[in-house]
Structure 1
Amino acid sequence: MTVELDVRSLVDAVTRALRERILRGEIVPGTPVTEKSVSDEFAVARPTAKAAVERLVFDGLLRRQANKTARVPVLTLAEVGDVYFSRTLLELGAIEVVAARGEVPDDARLALERFDLAFGRGDVSAVVEADVEFHQALVDAAGSARLSRMYASLMAEFHLCVARVQVLGRLDRSTLAAEHAAVLAAVEAADPALASTELEAHITGARDRILAVYAADS
């Protein structure tokens, strides 16, 4: 069985299709993703399949050891904790700068609209993408290209953390919506201390929920 692709770039199309399958949990952690399997599934040439796999390796959604087949990573409890530790440091630094201006980034508001719509229709991949876009928008608003690049790189592994919880139906829509709104309200009020407090509570709560899922399933 092959999958039809209706986009301009085959490499982009295959990459996105694989990313969505990983985020939905259709390709479970530990599963090998070979160039041949990708080529066969999507009816594309091996170089196209290889390019798509390499992109996902670069993004952190696949891992490949030397001379080994790429696989969907199996994140350990320690790795998940470290992802959240790292993102907390980056986001708290950014939110203080953003909140001091008292201006909510338009991209953050739009991301929350997409988040709510995606949650309503049960689109796991879109929920994860919108959540990442919300937090990325806050970091980007700090105005540091280097900070934005570091954060974007970290978010690849965050995708894997959140996708697993989403697939298991463990995240509460109303709780997340309230936490997101509290962060933006503090930014709009030009209160860096409150914005940092709300954001840290949001990230810590998400971390604890996800670690509980990983611990229960280990």
Structure 2
Amino acid sequence: MALRTTNMRDALVAEVRQQILSGELAPGTALTEQGLATTFGVARPTVRSALQELEARHLAERADGRSLRVPVLTEADVRDLFRVRLPLEVAAVRAVVTDGGSLAGPKAALAVLEALPASASWAERVEAHTAFHVALVEAAGSPRLSRIYPPLQEEMQLCLAQLREAHPDPAELAAEHRRLLEAVESGNPAGAEAETKDHLERALKSLTAG
């Protein structure tokens, strides 16, 4: 498997990330220097650097203090993720509504989400979903929110990759986010915050069902 890029480390990070978030690499799969070096035909120092980046992005974890593997998320992990995510998104939506932030980014992201065909891959759905939420947070115009939120969404993508049966099809996914955007566009801070909370609470309930 050849990587067609001059920056081998970044290419390796991108490829392994895609395989993790698509579910091709299942939770608990070992991520070894030798195995990845052999698979992709790159030097072990390159693999070591790529694994350090994946670990920093919470897409790899140490199972026994030494070896790395694809993270295995528990229900407690999912609930903790939403515990942190919810107040951040509510704060962002409040700022967008009260400060009149531009919704050009979220609208463009929603257009991509709505254009997904029924045959869209799981990875495509997760990427489009993530892009919408990142764009909505960026619309708040807060440099710090924009800095701390994307890494959280990286873990959210991992969560969705591992619990794919709970996620809606592209049409339903687009409709849910259309409702959320319309609530933000309404100019009613309380209504927008309530819809954001409902949106995330429905997602949490779906992801932890059973």
Q: TM-score when scaled to structure 1?
A: 0.88
Q: Which amino acid aligns with 1:41?
A: T
For 1:153, the equivalent position in structure 2 comes to 151
- Separation in 1, partners of 2:101, 2:122: 29
Counterpart of 1:204 (choices 191, 201, 208) is 201
For 1:11, the equivalent position in structure 2 comes to 9
Alignment of 1:68 with 2:84, yes or no, is no
Q: What is the DSSP-based 3-state SS (H/G/I as helix, E as strand, rest coil) of the residue aligned with 2:31?
A: coil
Q: CA RMSD in A?
A: 1.9
Alignment check: 8 A CA contact 1:104 1:187 kept:
no
- Separation in 1, partners of 2:202, 2:169: 12
- Cα deviation 1:166-218 (Å, max 9, x = unaligned): 3x374233332222111211222212111111111111111111111xx4xxx
Alignment check: 8 A CA contact 1:102 1:188 kept:
no
Judging changes above 3 Å, is the alpha-carbon distance between structure 1 residues 175 and 102 closer, same or farther for their aligned structure 2 residues? farther
Segments of 5+ residues of structure 1 without an aligned counterpart are none
Q: Which amino acid aligns with 2:195?
A: E
Question: What does residue range 88-103 of structure 1 map to in structure 2 within 5 Å?
Answer: 88-103=86-101
Judging changes above 3 Å, is the alpha-carbon distance between structure 1 residues 7 and 133 closer, same or farther for their aligned structure 2 residues? same
- Separation in 2, partners of 1:122, 1:169: 16
For 2:44, the equivalent position in structure 1 comes to 46
Q: Which amino acid aligns with 1:129?
A: E
Alignment check: 8 A CA contact 1:90 1:147 kept:
yes
Counterpart of 2:81 (choices 80, 83, 86) is 83
- Separation in 1, partners of 2:117, 2:52: 30
Judging changes above 3 Å, is the alpha-carbon distance between structure 1 residues 117 and 42 closer, same or farther for their aligned structure 2 residues? farther
- Separation in 2, partners of 1:119, 1:83: 29
- Separation in 1, partners of 2:96, 2:176: 17
Shift of 1:116: 3.5
Counterpart of 2:124 (choices 114, 123, 126) is 126
Shift of 1:6: 2.4
- Separation in 2, partners of 1:114, 1:120: 13
- Separation in 1, partners of 2:163, 2:46: 31
Q: Which amino acid aligns with 2:170?
A: R
Q: Which amino acid aligns with 1:205?
A: R
Shift of 1:132: 1.4
- Separation in 2, partners of 1:143, 1:184: 17
Alignment check: 8 A CA contact 1:100 1:187 kept:
no
Shift of 1:71: 0.9
Aligned residues: 210
Segments of 5+ residues of structure 2 without an aligned counterpart are none
